[in-house]
Amino acid sequence: MDKFKIKLESLRNEADAAVARAETSEAKVKQLEAEHISKDHDIQSLTIRVKNLEEQLDKAETSLTDTTKNFNEADLKAEAFERRVNKLEAELVEKEKKLEEAQEAHRALKQEYEEFAKSLDEA
């Protein structure tokens, strides 16, 4: 009978140890499931963030394209205006030169007229 009690005690101890291991394993499973849920939430959050960042990137690229296009158009217009300004400045220089020539001719004619008028007065 002692052997039976010893065997029974041994089986109880094994059963208690198995229950303890099972409880530990169940706690570990619950912990891992909680971590898995947490990681899933993190993944969802990061996926949403990536999507938002991709949308922002698309908007920024579109804005950059538009801005670059507008800059190039403005640059072309500025070059055209610069060419026109240079042309007008050249015309202005030419007109000023003609004006000086006309003023010089006017002075010469005026002097001739005054000399002619003086000679008529003397005669």
Count of alpha carbons within 13 Å of 46, Cβ hemisphere only? 6
- What does the block give as tokens for 122? 């003397």
Q: Is 121 helix (H, G, I), strand (E, B) or coil?
A: helix
pLDDT band at 36 (very low <50, low <70, confident <90, very high): very high
How far apart are alpha carbons 110 and 118 in whole angstroms?
Answer: 12
Domains of the chain, by residue range, sit at: 1-87
| Residues above pLDDT 90, as percent of the chain | 86
Task: Identify which has the larger pLDDT, 93 or 8.
Answer: 93
Taking residues 44-58, report their average pLDDT.
98
Is the pLDDT assigned to residue 1 strictly greater than 90?
no
pLDDT band at 98 (very low <50, low <70, confident <90, very high): very high
pLDDT value at residue 69: 98
Is the pLDDT assigned to residue 7 strictly greater than 90?
no
Q: Is 123 helix (H, G, I), strand (E, B) or coil?
A: coil
| Residues above pLDDT 70, as percent of the chain | 99
How far apart are alpha carbons 38 and 33 in whole angstroms?
Answer: 9
